[in-house]
Amino acid sequence: MSRWGPKLRSPRLADSLSSCRVLVVGAGGIGCELLKNLVLTGFKNIEVIDLDTIDVSNLNRQFLFQKKHVGKSKAQVAKESVLRFCPSANITAYHDSIMNPDYNVEFFRNFQLVMNALDNRAARNHVNRMCLAADIPLIESGTAGYLGQVTVIKKGQTECYECQPKPTQKTFPGCTIRNTPSEPIHCIVWAKYLFNQLFGEEDADQEVSPDTADPEVAWNPADAAARATASNKDGDIKRVSTKEWARSTGYDPVKLFNKLFKDDIMYLLTMDKLWKKRKAPLPLDWTEIHQLESSQEEAFGTGLKDQQVLGVQGYAQLFHRSVETLRSQLIEKGEGAELVWDKDDPPAMDFVTAAANLRMNVFSMNMKSRFDVKSMAGNIIPAIATTNAVIAGLIVLEALKTLNSDFDQCRTIFLNKQPNPRKKLLVPCALDPPNPNCYVCASKPEVTVKLNVHKTIVQALQDKILKEKFGMVAPDVQIEDGKGTILISSEEGETEANNNKFLSDFGIRNGSRLQADDFLQDYTLLVNLIHSEELEKDVEFEVVGDAPDKAPAPSVPEEGKNIANGNKDSAQPSTSSKAAAEDDDVLIVDSDEEPSSSTMEASPESSNRKRKHHDADTDATASKRKRLDQQPADDDEDIIALD
């Protein structure tokens, strides 16, 4: 105990545990373990907040919940379960979002310590800012499969959660998704888009039909323009929207199948330039598929049903069943109803699994099991109960140090998948000082954004830049033009008329400055604008100097290598013997608990290969990885060996 935390025999610390108020944000995988640990350690006054309700899929790792609790509030059930360990504890549960304005800076000032057990970056950013504004220590944590980490954030003394820019979620060009998928993830993204276009909220940025404006299609710009303006050819997205066409057929599964996997593919084949150096897609026909011998449609792989890979006929039948089920759900909801994608909704998951695998087959890729598709479609690495337990224990140890005023002993602690060269699984690192250029915790936060003032509307500035990119909840924006012009107001209805106007309509030009205030977060950000007409295609804005957002240069295929759409072999169904985390196809790590800004590579073995599933959203930083490899030998005193 002496290596990791203060001795509990300290009377002052014991009194502190029984009297201090702590806030736990999140009652999921880490949160359940953490709440149990807190009451057993002696904490008496705990408040916990979580927006979610309990799902069956939570029960394999969130041990405060049972089957009878499914559908109930996580925070409330967690409170009731934990009180069985310590009936004298005073626990308050909130079934709510921590981003609700009710939980303002004054609310946070009621606590001596805040502990995060969250599953998304937006909420992490928000809690980070609230703790900075309230000047309350925050213990941040996260897990991803076998990896995990805990760190302590204290205003003015350490890096905050946002001191190091986070890589954005990996995205793919629309023409790749619609015309030339080369990896299973491209097909899975396409299938999710298709779900939304057919059954959910239509989005012009999620079109799934062949893209006639793909610049690679044409030999010259004039030809590309001609194709883009064509409107009467089969497969052209301007002919009719996907949803309108589906409704006109009554969501007929066979007609949908032939449109998506036969007609659209045959149309793609007419874009012959696409297939000069690629293996051309192979259309599927419903009638021909169902003339196959059933013996050819055995499942590949062993084990659980979700880990098996069906044949083409099996996925065609699954597609048929799921479309009929989703159509019935739409009818039950009434005219104009929409469904929402949820990886834990069986019909939705069946649809995406079937549609994605059928498209993989069309483009000669190895098909994936439902388990693998769910991991990628849900952007998750499956959570592991033991990892959550280890991380929850480390949170409490860092909490004890913080409350005992032993802040100089606090560490960022990493849980590795495999032992490091000194055979340690748990590796502590000294806390980093604040980044003087951080746009959150600097004395005067400031950023520079490059965009086209003639094409960027006020709504995009609010939603995509201030809210999505910079994590604001309810920004008020004033133009520094000497007049104090209000561009955006958080008060409903005050500036809605501005939403669809271009920034240039307000006199905003190259060098203009905006002051963005978020009163809930007690946060002000100065935004410097650079006008540019040379942004890359589909790029609406860039944060100048935000290096982690820069994508690495694409690799060039070796000359003479047989190109088969990203596969080294022909289209053979895959098995599920490989964990989803081992595939480079995983988009981002929004697992039960997403790793925080200081996560490092897990082991020497894994550091030698790409970790897209990890780095994409684990907020890893190169400096942290470097420090892991350079730990001095005398740090052994701070490291626990798990042999």
The per-residue pLDDT for 333 is 87
163 is in an annotated binding site: yes
The residues near 223 (Cβ < 8 Å, ≥ 6 apart) are none
Of 529, 544, 559, the position where a domain reaches its end is 544
86 is in an annotated binding site: no
| Domain identity same for 403 and 316 | no
98 is in an annotated binding site: yes
The per-residue pLDDT for 5 is 52
358 is in an annotated binding site: no
Cβ-contact 285, 258 below 8 angstroms: yes
| Domain identity same for 283 and 340 | yes
Residue ranges of the chain whose pLDDT lies below 70:
1-10, 167-171, 213-240, 292-303, 379-382, 546-643
Strands of the sheet containing 21-25, edge to edge, are: 90-94, 45-49, 21-25, 113-116, 138-144, 147-153, 411-415, 426-430
Other CB atoms within a 10 A radius of the CB of residue 387 amount to 25
| Domain identity same for 202 and 56 | no
| Domain identity same for 368 and 485 | no
| Domain identity same for 146 and 204 | no
Of 398, 429, 460, the position where a domain reaches its end is 429
| Domain identity same for 23 and 94 | yes
| Domain identity same for 333 and 363 | yes
**pLDDT, tens digit, for every residue of 520-578?**
999 999 999 999 998 887 788 999 875 433 333 433 333 333 333 333 333 333 333 33
120 is in an annotated binding site: yes
The dihedral built from the CA positions of residue 144, 147, 150 and 151, taken in this order, carries a sign that is negative
Residue 626 lies in a domain: no
Number of domains within the chain? 3
Residue 513 lies in a domain: yes
| Domain identity same for 201 and 145 | no
Residue 606 lies in a domain: no
119 is in an annotated binding site: yes
Residue 643 lies in a domain: no
Q: What is the CATH number of the domain that holds 522?
A: 3.10.290.20
Residue 473 lies in a domain: yes
C-alpha radius of gyration, the chain, whole number: 26
> 175 catalytic, yes or no?
yes
The per-residue pLDDT for 509 is 93
Residue 105 lies in a domain: yes
74 is in an annotated binding site: yes
| Domain identity same for 159 and 209 | no
Residue 584 lies in a domain: no
| Domain identity same for 210 and 297 | yes
The per-residue pLDDT for 623 is 37
Of 544, 577, 597, the position where a domain reaches its end is 544
| Domain identity same for 56 and 118 | yes
Q: What is the CATH number of the domain that holds 48?
A: 3.40.50.720
61 is in an annotated binding site: yes
Instruction: Give the structural domain span for 521.
Output: 446-544
Angle (CA) 349-468-482 rounded to 5° is: 160
The kind and range of the H/E element at 428 are strand 426-430
Cβ-contact 438, 445 below 8 angstroms: yes
The per-residue pLDDT for 227 is 47
26 is in an annotated binding site: yes
Catalytic residue among 175, 187, 410, 429: 175
Residue 635 lies in a domain: no
Other CB atoms within a 10 A radius of the CB of residue 586 amount to 23
The dihedral built from the CA positions of residue 450, 611, 354 and 343, taken in this order, carries a sign that is negative
Q: What is the CATH number of the domain that holds 261?
A: 1.10.10.520
| Domain identity same for 502 and 463 | yes
